[in-house]
Amino acid sequence: MLDLRRIRTEPEVVVAELARRGMDTSDIGHVLDLDELHRRLGAQRDELRSEVKSLSKQVGQLHRDGRSDEAEAVQAKSRSLGEKEQELATEAAMLSNQVRDLLLRIPNTPHPDSPEGSSDADNPVVRIHGYDPDHFGDHQRIAHWDLGTQYGILDNERAVKISGAMFTMQRKGGATLARALLQYALDRNADAFEEVRPPTLVTSETLTATGQLPKFADDAYWVERDDLWCIPTAEVPLTSIHRDEILDTADLPMRFMAATSCYRREAGSAGRDTRGMLRTHEFDKVEVFAYATPQQAPAVLEELVERAESGIRDLGLAYRVIEICTGDLGQSHHRSFDIEVYSPGTDQWLEVSSVSWFSDYQARRGAIRYRPEGGGTAMVHTLNGSALAVPRVWAAIVETYHRRDGGIDVPDVLLPYFRGSDRIA
């Protein structure tokens, strides 16, 4: 969430920054009004609390002096003021909750260098690698769902029978490919990232810390009986590893990676292409994540983009990098880049990685701090990225590496994970 102290001291600046998102900024005014009332009631509560404490001392002294009648009168006044103090405390707590609820719904401010724009149509392309539309043959212009059925490596019909619409099931070489991609992504980032296997069911507090709640509750799977949520990404548990802790500055940047299943209801998928592996309720992904100081964060962002990009490049896929404009940034995002692979079978660019810097927005929700050299504590900055999300990379590989004479070649970097095979036959 945004820093309430900054909203108090620089309201015009915050409003101008949020206006770059093209959003209604009236909530900033509501926050200021509620916060002012909350502080005024808090001051009145504290005055009454101090007066009640003073009267309590008088009551004790009057009893010691044998002036019981006067003591009872003062005690009655103390009780009356105590009741008013409790009423004010209750009202102040309600106002505090209202302020927090508003802050949880207000998005992060964009980075000054984030490009202006109102929608994904305004996202500028930073660079393109390996894309030549004339390079792909007719044998590669076959959609992966058709190739998956032809080679028996994608069995969505039975996945739907087992779990319902928008679930997928890879088989034989397709299952091996999915597993190989996860191990490939873990291995290439193991030089700098600690591997973690976090829980994939988390509490509401954990989901709130990353910004998924309350705004995106409809897109998440909720286990009502236990009040637990299925994670939409490993970013969620990784962010909360050090929630409510103060980190040693010498340990920053602190890097984690995790391979997990991810679950999304895809509430907004109506009208979108959900064939094959393009959009599913459950999928596997390797996430990379970092805590950093504000000074370290820009370099860490560049590192995460390069790691995700090089992973796709070494798979031999055509891809492009785009920067997310202000009007298309996610709720928690300060600055973001997406990597999209080219799918020759569908003639589409498919998002396979999103790398984001959240400034201190998530850390403020999760109370994740560090000790700067000047003393005191400050909020860390959080960053994360998809090192490799399996479904669409899987689809692009199956189409790109489909041979004219039949079969699907295995990319060279995945050969160590294919038990001696170099082709899906």
Q: What pLDDT score does 64 carry?
A: 80
Average pLDDT, the chain: 95
What kind and span of H or E run contains 202?
strand 201-202
- Indicate the domain borders of the chain: 4-105, 120-424
CA–CA gap between residue 94 and residue 97 (Å, rounded) = 5
Give the three-class secondary structure for 348.
strand
What confidence tier does 56 reach under pLDDT thresholds 50, 70, 90?
Answer: confident
Let me know: does 20 contact 115? Beta carbons within 8 Å.
no
Alpha helix positions (H), 65-223: 68-105, 144-150, 156-163, 173-189, 204-209
| Cα dihedral 409/284/1/242 (nearest 10) | -110
Q: Return d(Cα 229, Cα 235) in angstroms, integer.
A: 14
Helices H / strands E in the chain, number of each: 12, 16
- Cα 348 from chain centroid (whole Å): 25
User: What token pair was written down for 245?
Assistant: 């802790």
Question: What single-letter amino acid sits at 316?
Answer: G
- Residue identified by tokens 């589409």 is 348
In whole angstroms, what is the distance from residue 182 CA to residue 144 CA?
Answer: 19
Q: Quick one: fold of 4-105?
A: Helix Hairpins (1.10.287)
Name beta bridge partners: 125: 322
Residues 6+ apart with CB under 8 A from 46: none
Q: What is the pLDDT, as a whole number, of residue 67?
A: 81
- Measured distance CA(284)–CA(275) in Å, rounded: 17
The backbone torsions φ and ψ at residue 183, rounded to the nearest 5 degrees and listed phi first, read -65, -35
Task: Compute the distance between CA of residue 406 and CA of residue 424 in angstroms, rounded to an integer.
Answer: 9
Confidence (pLDDT) at 228: 97
Which tens digit of pLDDT belongs to each residue from 89-108? 999 999 999 999 999 999 99
**232-241 pLDDT, tens per residue?**
999 999 999 9
In the predicted model, is pLDDT for residue 71 greater than 80? no
Q: Could you tell me the two tokens for 16?
A: 């101008």
What are the percentages of helix, strand and coil residues in the chain, rounded to 5? 45, 20, 35
pTM: predicted TM-score of the whole model, two decimal places: 0.92
Specify the fold of 120-424: BirA Bifunctional Protein; domain 2 (3.30.930)
> For 411, which DSSP code?
P
Between the CA of residue 407 and those of 170, 401, 402, what are the distances in Å?
A: 16, 8, 6
- The Cα–Cα gap between 150 and 153 comes to 8
Give the tens place of pLDDT for each residue, 401-411: 999 999 999 99
| Token representation of residue 261 | 């299943």
Kind and range of the H or E element at 299? helix 297-314
Average the pLDDT over 386-399 and give the result. 97
pLDDT of residue 416: 97
Instruction: Write out the two tokens for 248.
Output: 């040693």
